[in-house]
Amino acid sequence: MPKKSTELLAGDTDGVAYEFSVFRFAGSDRSAPRAYLQAALHGDEMPGVAAIHALMPKLRAAEAEGRIKGDITVVPWANPVGRAQYLFGVVQGRFHLGTRTNFNRDFPLVATPEANALPVESELETIDQKLKTRLLSLSLGHDIVLDLHCDDEGVAYLYVPVALWPTMSDCAAAMGVEAVILWDGSSGASFDEASLHPYREREARDLAGLAITTAEFRGQVDVERDLGERDAQGLYRLLVGRGVIADGETPQGDGFRGLVAPIDHVEMLRAPRAGVILYDVKPGDHVAEGQRIASIVHSPGEQNGQVDVLAPQAGFILTRRSHRQTRAGDDLVKLVGERPSATARAGALEA
């Protein structure tokens, strides 16, 4: 059985504390890659939790049969703070309400993959800073770091550092995602950036054993038994393919054949007016330049009561928002184009 521990975090006020579970599988080969998996860093994103729940029996079976070669650390529910933030019955898991900071931003950026390089947790001021430091301390030193998220509505896709591509194409193929978005530079000190940061000065040949990614498992409502099992199979194939688990009966399949694009090719299409969103496309669709993506009904019942949103270039619909009422300027769609976006900006796509 894996070793289970409970991480405790003191809250920002007396009498308040948070905890989350960590499972550790000990590998039999010290030279084998080590893997770290976490889900629900954004406390309202559950597909990764379902995937890890379906993965755990596979890991336990591999452990019982002596097939785990490299250490595996699993955090199924990584953010107890975000899980507890409810406003009028709706969980507010993306931002810490106390600091207004995204739970996947402002992680410590350390120069070496050693726990003693991290800030002293007791000297940190807020619970979100303590949580980020604790999670990073759990993940440091692992060769494979998988941070499982989801979008509003979307296809399954990965954010992969440019420095790790195309060597991570095997991971994308194993996980069965439809697209890979390549990023470079800063992403606001997100978890994947913080995980890569200790290795940024290494030569490309010295990065070949690393696999660091943010995995977006479709949309927030895509939390179903069969999808969780499918994602768990993909995670398991990745661990087998990278030599963390020995399993000669798990086929690796062909290479990755999905879409690969740099992050500056992503068009963030925004609402020109407030109103009701009428979508003409869904995630996974291919669109032509000038094609209507959606209409915003700003004055219902009026003869000219809507405004159309058109594709600025041909491309692939990666995601769309799950709500159907928008404010002016809100994001509507991520479209992955064939050329750089005229409105592309450095860093992460969203706050």
Q: Over range 117-134, report the average pLDDT.
A: 96
- Position 349 in a domain: no
Residues 6+ apart with CB under 8 A from 49: 39, 40, 76, 77, 148, 223
Q: CATH code at 287?
A: 2.40.50.100
CA dist 220 and 157 (Å) reads: 14
Please indicate, yes or no, whether residues 125 and 204 belong to a single structural domain of this protein. yes
Q: Over range 192-203, report the average pLDDT.
A: 92
pLDDT given for residue 350 in this prediction: 85
- Position 351 in a domain: no
- Position 153 in a domain: yes
pLDDT given for residue 111 in this prediction: 93
pLDDT given for residue 201 in this prediction: 84
Q: Over range 195-204, report the average pLDDT.
A: 89
3-state helix, strand, coil in the chain (%, to 5): 25, 30, 45
**Residue with tokens 């509507």, as numbered in its chain:** 332
Residue 51 contacts residue 36 (beta carbons within 8 Å):
no
Sign of CA dihedral 340, 324, 285, 228: positive
pLDDT in tens, 41-71: 999 999 999 999 999 999 999 999 999 999 9
Which of 202, 226, 257 is a domain's end point? Answer: 257
Please indicate, yes or no, whether residues 175 and 211 belong to a single structural domain of this protein. yes
pLDDT in tens, 77-112: 999 999 999 999 999 999 999 999 999 999 999 999
Q: Over range 146-157, report the average pLDDT.
A: 98
pLDDT in tens, 297-341: 999 999 999 999 999 999 999 999 999 999 999 999 999 999 999
Please indicate, yes or no, whether residues 83 and 108 belong to a single structural domain of this protein. yes
Q: How many domains does the chain have?
A: 2
Please indicate, yes or no, whether residues 160 and 48 belong to a single structural domain of this protein. yes
Which of 257, 276, 296 is a domain's end point? Answer: 257
Helices (H), the chain: 47-64, 80-83, 127-139, 169-175, 191-196, 225-241
Please indicate, yes or no, whether residues 315 and 185 belong to a single structural domain of this protein. no
- Position 197 in a domain: yes
- Position 221 in a domain: yes
User: What single string gives the DSSP state of each residue in 268-287?
Assistant: EEE-SSSEEEEES--TT-EE
pLDDT given for residue 76 in this prediction: 98
Please indicate, yes or no, whether residues 253 and 274 belong to a single structural domain of this protein. no
pLDDT in tens, 232-287: 999 999 999 999 999 999 888 789 999 999 999 999 999 999 999 999 999 999 99
pLDDT given for residue 348 in this prediction: 84
- Position 342 in a domain: no
Please indicate, yes or no, whether residues 180 and 147 belong to a single structural domain of this protein. yes
Owning domain of residue 272: 264-337
- Position 147 in a domain: yes
Which of 257, 291, 320 is a domain's end point? Answer: 257
Q: CATH code at 170?
A: 3.40.630.10
pLDDT given for residue 252 in this prediction: 81
Please indicate, yes or no, whether residues 240 and 272 belong to a single structural domain of this protein. no
Please indicate, yes or no, whether residues 89 and 238 belong to a single structural domain of this protein. yes
Please indicate, yes or no, whether residues 160 and 13 belong to a single structural domain of this protein. yes
pLDDT given for residue 205 in this prediction: 76
Q: What share of the chain has pLDDT > 90, as a percent?
A: 92
| Mean of the per-residue pLDDT values of the chain | 96
Please indicate, yes or no, whether residues 125 and 250 belong to a single structural domain of this protein. yes
Residue 351 has pLDDT above 80, yes or no: no
Please indicate, yes or no, whether residues 194 and 90 belong to a single structural domain of this protein. yes
Q: Over range 188-194, report the average pLDDT.
A: 97
pLDDT in tens, 298-308: 999 999 999 99
- Position 343 in a domain: no
